[in-house]
Amino acid sequence: MTAAFDFEFTAIDGEPLPLKQFEGHPLLVVNVASRCQLTPQYEGLQKLWTDYRDRGLIVLGVPSNQFWQEPQKELEIAAFCRVTYAVTFPMTEKTHVRGGKAHPFYKWMRDQLGSAAKPNWNFHKLLTGRSGEPRAAFKPNIEPGDAKLRAAIERAL
């Protein structure tokens, strides 16, 4: 049976980013963009990372330009996130998150959770459990501090 930990991304610095390294940890995977009205959610995602990383949560930012709001190159994205929002959680290189070219992780999550797992905009959130099983999907307008998202994270922990 496939689990989230069976997939691999490329990190924002170009190095391999196998999700296997996070085995045993819940994952909150979020497609992000630096020129979106929702970009301030980076602050809340960093807070989730700070609040929950010692308990095991991994927040993973996945930059995507599929909604035309992440035109920058990886080094520029990393610098923007670090300087503007003090982001320290792991991030991937720019990645397709929907359609035929979607990263296999996103296709798998959609197959498991249905249309709720298909990003319809930036800052769509996907949560897996400690065993790598799909747990929930949250639409972009659900802020990182939202009680329903935090409750789902608590259950996954």
Q: Which of 142, 135, 119, 120 is nearest to 57 (CA)?
A: 135
Active site residue 36: yes
Which residues, 6+ apart, have CB-to-CB distance to 47 below 8 Å?
144, 145
Query: Which of 11, 36, 38, 116 does the annotation list as catalytic?
Result: 36
User: Which amino acid would we find at residue 62?
Assistant: V
Cβ contact 137:35 at 8 Å: no
Residue showing tokens 């923007």: 80
The pairing of strands 27-32 and 58-63 is parallel
DSSP per-residue string spanning 106-141: HHHHHHHHGGGGS-SSTT-EEEE-TTS-EEEEE-TT
Which residues, 6+ apart, have CB-to-CB distance to 22 below 8 Å?
5, 58
Enumerate the active-site residues.
36
